[in-house]
Amino acid sequence: MSLALPAILSIVLYLASAALLAAPLTGCPRTPQRLGLGAATLAVLLHAAVLLGAHGGRVDLHFFAALSLVAGVVAALTLLVNLTRPVAGLGVIVFPLAALLLALDSFVAPPTRPLPLDWQITLHVAIALLAYSLLSIAAVLAILLAVQERALRAHRPGRLVRALPPLTQTEALLFRLIGAGFVGLTLTLLTGALFVQNIRGQHLAHTIVLSVVAWVIFGALLWGRWRHGWRGTRAVNLTLAGMAVLALAFFGSKFVLEMVLKRTP
């Protein structure tokens, strides 16, 4: 069975969901949000089906396949976040990105075969994927927090600000996500130290170094929040800096090896 149709349906549903969630930001009633989240749920399920079908039910860590996998997990976690804290702005940003990355993996990227992974490495990858996804959502929320804070300081609360939860709730959610992601990142480093062999041969040295740098940044942010009450611009900047370093750690070497040097395992 061709996977083109479910991929296209997922992409369309992602985009439709983003449009419905954005409707209140343009002055429309808030009622389309439930429909938007429903469309996103179907999109995530179809996205998962495409990934399972395209990669034989295994984890494919090649560049475009990994991006699509991360996008699917981030989209699923965004739905879970909206169950407790309706943050429409998250879906407006996350779902179109998920559609784009799914389209690239399905229709642009060359076909790849997943490498065989034993259960220890699979566990390590699963923890890393969850940690990266949680911190990715935190980075998106940090951007929304910065917009929200700037608008309130300028005494010009637009529709976006009115559609978001109160500033204190948005900030509390941000640090919950960072805390959960930091725990996941800690476990990622520990399982990597225990299970990953031949670091140089697998081109993982820079990944490890950058992951540790990101861990230090997020750890410092959480410590500063607990000890000194860090918030606002400092919290946003450190969140985005940590996420940028982590993105380089996860995808920097893959991009260079596969896209620049054309070395596909």
- How much of the chain is in helix, strand and coil states, percent to nearest 5? 80, 0, 20
Q: At what angle do helices 32-54 and 63-84 cross, to 10 degrees?
A: 150
Rounded distance between C-alpha atoms, residue 236 and residue 40, angstroms? 27
3-state DSSP assignment of residue 204? coil
Q: Quick one: three-class SS letters along 87-116?
A: CHHHHHHHHHHHHHHHHHHHHHCCCCCCCC
Rounded distance between C-alpha atoms, residue 130 and residue 59, angstroms? 13
Q: At what angle do helices 232-247 and 205-228 cross, to 10 degrees?
A: 170
Cα 168 to Cα 145, 174, 232, 246: the distances in Å are: 10, 10, 10, 26
pLDDT in tens, 174-232: 999 999 999 999 999 999 888 777 655 455 678 889 999 999 999 999 999 999 988 88
Amino acid at 35: L
Look at the pTM and tell me if it is higher than 0.75: yes
> What pLDDT sits at residue 169?
84
Rounded distance between C-alpha atoms, residue 195 and residue 116, angstroms? 15
Tens of pLDDT, residue by residue, the chain (265 residues): 578 999 999 999 999 999 988 887 666 655 577 888 999 999 999 999 999 988 777 888 888 899 999 999 999 999 998 887 777 778 989 999 999 999 999 999 888 777 777 888 889 999 999 999 999 999 999 998 888 888 777 666 666 666 677 778 888 999 999 999 999 999 999 998 887 776 554 556 788 899 999 999 999 999 999 999 888 889 999 999 999 999 998 888 777 766 666 655 5
Determine contact, residues 90/82, Cβ cutoff 8 Å: yes
Residue 22 CA, distance from chain mean position = 19
Determine contact, residues 7/34, Cβ cutoff 8 Å: no
CA atoms within 13 A on the CB side of 131: 28
Rounded distance between C-alpha atoms, residue 177 and residue 137, angstroms? 8
